[in-house]
């Protein structure tokens, strides 16, 4: 009997670099909504973990679902976690544009160093057709593609506050997130940015919960986000991850005890 879900512990590099790393934001999801506060919080979480050299830092979870049987697509729906996964994709594009020779001198000595080729492969997959690793909402994809994926994020200007607050046009939120990251990486400089991106790709973890269908994924999302439940999302994730992952030695006891 096929299990209704499969939790996987993935590094950020694996989340975007594995062969099955093709994601799309379904139409029933809300558009990208993160503003300064949420982006700054994500940056602080990653940077603090990097400074403290924390192993297997847990950044959260995402829930994905296979497309319906009548949908012939290699992409999976992101039912929960689209804000985080979209923000990470913007971060990749920013550092790609800002430091095109990232880790060029380190790649021969460090097999885990993230160079421009690995960054590019995390943004799109080349083959018979160039497939983006992430498609956002259909009506907003052209803005995301033009401003972030194929645009030059070095030239973006911070939008006005009233533009960022406009939920109907998330392109300003895309741009705002890119500008925040650009300023952060400029302050760090290339050498420290290289160290940070290496840490992000190799030591920061996300739990991807792959569901067999959209209906189950939505139910799981509702359970994890129902404030009336006695169990918190962390409790629920921990319970089935301990069962599914710990026995396979995919993660350490320290990972569970300190980060969930």
Q: Which residue has the higher pLDDT, 107 or 37?
A: 37
CA distance 177 to 44: 14
Q: Are 11 and 205 in contact (CB under 8 A)?
A: yes
CA distance 158 to 176: 6
Question: pLDDT per residue over 204-255, tens digit each?
Answer: 999 999 888 777 787 777 766 654 444 444 454 544 444 444 444 334 444 4
Q: Which residue has the higher pLDDT, 228 or 27?
A: 27
Q: How far is CA 38 from CA 35, 41, 44, 177, 213, in A?
A: 6, 5, 10, 10, 29
Predicted confidence (pLDDT) at residue 12 exceeds the cutoff of 80? yes
Residue 225: the pLDDT is 63
Strand partners, 80: 63
CA dihedral 193, 198, 204, 205 (to 10 degrees): 140
Residue 29: the pLDDT is 82
Q: How many helices (H) and strands (E) does the chain have?
A: 10, 8
Pairing relation of β-strands 131-132 and 23-24? unpaired
User: Residue 10: phi, psi to the nearest 5?
Assistant: -125, 140
Return the sign of the alpha-carbon dihedral for residues 209, 215, 216, 218.
positive
Q: Where residue 2 falls among pLDDT bands split at 50, 70, 90?
A: low
Residue 251: the pLDDT is 41
Question: pLDDT per residue over 83-123, tens digit each?
Answer: 999 999 999 999 999 999 999 988 888 889 999 999 999 99
Residue 37: the pLDDT is 96
Residue 254: the pLDDT is 42
CA distance 113 to 107: 5
Residue 1: the pLDDT is 56
Residue 202: the pLDDT is 96
CA distance 243 to 259: 17
The domain locations on the chain are: 5-253
Question: pLDDT per residue over 49-68, tens digit each?
Answer: 999 999 889 998 899 988 76
CA distance 37 to 16: 25
């Amino acid at each position: 009997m096929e299990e209704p879900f499969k939790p996987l512990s993935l590094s950020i590099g694996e989340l975007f670099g594995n062969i099955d790393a093709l994601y799309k934001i379904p139409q029933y999801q809300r558009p990208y909504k993160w503003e300064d506060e949420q982006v700054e919080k994500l940056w602080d979480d990653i940077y603090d973990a990097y400074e403290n050299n924390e192993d297997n830092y847990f950044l959260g979870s995402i829930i994905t679902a296979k497309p319906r049987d009548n949908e012939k697509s290699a992409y999976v729906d992101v039912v929960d976690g689209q804000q985080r996964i979209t923000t990470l994709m913007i971060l990749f594009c920013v550092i790609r544009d800002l430091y095109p020779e990232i880790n060029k001198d380190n790649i021969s000595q460090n097999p885990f160093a993230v160079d421009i080729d690995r960054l590019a492969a995390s943004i799109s997959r080349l083959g018979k057709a160039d497939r983006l690793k992430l498609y956002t909402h259909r009506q907003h994809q052209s803005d995301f593609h033009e401003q972030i994926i194929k645009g030059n994020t070095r030239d973006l200007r911070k939008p006005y506050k009233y533009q960022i607050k406009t939920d109907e046009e998330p392109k300003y939120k895309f741009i705002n997130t890119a500008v925040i990251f650009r300023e952060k990486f400029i302050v760090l400089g290339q050498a420290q940015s290289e160290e940070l991106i290496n840490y992000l790709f190799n030591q920061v973890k996300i739990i991807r919960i792959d569901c067999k269908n959209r209906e189950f994924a939505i139910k799981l999302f509702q359970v994890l986000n129902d404030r009336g439940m006695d169990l918190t999302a962390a409790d629920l994730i921990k319970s089935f991850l301990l069962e599914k992952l710990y026995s396979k030695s995919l993660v350490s006891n320290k990972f569970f005890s300190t980060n969930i």
